[in-house]
Amino acid sequence: MLMCRERDRAKTALTAALVVLAFAFLGVGARADDSAPAAPPPDEGIVRNVAKKIETISASKIPVTRTIAKKIGMATDPGEPQDFVVKSRPAGEEDYIPVGRKEFEHTIKVKTPAELKAIEADFDAVKVRHDALRSNFAPARKAVADAEAAKAAKAEKKKKPPVAPPAAASPQ
């Protein structure tokens, strides 16, 4: 009683398509190496070949080869640096150039305790002035009154001891 459903046919067809696609990619990858080798670079002439070889083997650091390279025209001396470069460098020759920023001296002095108290007094004066302005504002007055009423109710609750239920009379 095997029944073939449409869903099973679709799965089988999809699997077969994926297998064929995988083999197709493998076949393309195998043929990728069948291409012709790259063409050799064009002849650049003896001067350029010598210049490349000199750069490659660092022979330009040897004085004799450097002199010959200068005579041929393949090497030059570095020119003088621009004015902005000279101005930005330190006066003396240094092997080490420090990295990062210099620490700057602070120009603001540390406040004395008396100056700190004066600043706090100024802050307190501003706070008192703002509280006075705020208390004249109707919603703020109502909020303050509500807070005081809640505080008073809480204090009153704490003062009254809880009332114990009356003891039941025992018959004797």
CB-CB contact of 54 with 60 (8 Å): yes
What tens digit of pLDDT does each residue of 80-106 get? 889 998 888 777 766 766 677 777 787
Q: How confident is the model at residue 152 (pLDDT cuts 50, 70, 90)?
A: very high
Q: What is the Cα–Cα distance from 144 to 135, expressed in whole angstroms?
A: 8
Lowest mean pLDDT among 12-16, 45-49, 57-61, 128-132: 57-61
First-to-last C-alpha distance (Å) of the chain: 92
Nearest to 71 by CA among 54, 58, 86, 57: 54
Measured CA distances, 95 to 29, 85, 163 (Å): 55, 17, 90
Rg, the chain, Cα only: 47
| pTM of full prediction above 0.85 | no
Q: What is the Cα–Cα distance from 59 to 40, expressed in whole angstroms?
A: 26
Whether the per-residue pLDDT at 55 is higher than 70: the answer is no
SS3 state at 14: helix
In this prediction, residues 133-160 reach a mean pLDDT of 84
User: What is the residue type of 120?
Assistant: E
Q: Show the tokens assigned to 65.
A: 């080869």
In this prediction, residues 102-119 reach a mean pLDDT of 89
Whether the per-residue pLDDT at 68 is higher than 70: the answer is yes
DSSP collapsed to 3 states, 72-123 = HCCCCCCCCCCHHHHHHCCCCCCCCCCCCCCCCCCCCCCCCHHHHHHHHHHH
Q: How confident is the model at residue 137 (pLDDT cuts 50, 70, 90)?
A: confident
Question: Which residues have C-beta within 8 Å of that of residue 65, sequence separation ≥ 6?
Answer: 54, 59
DSSP 32: G
In this prediction, residues 46-69 reach a mean pLDDT of 67
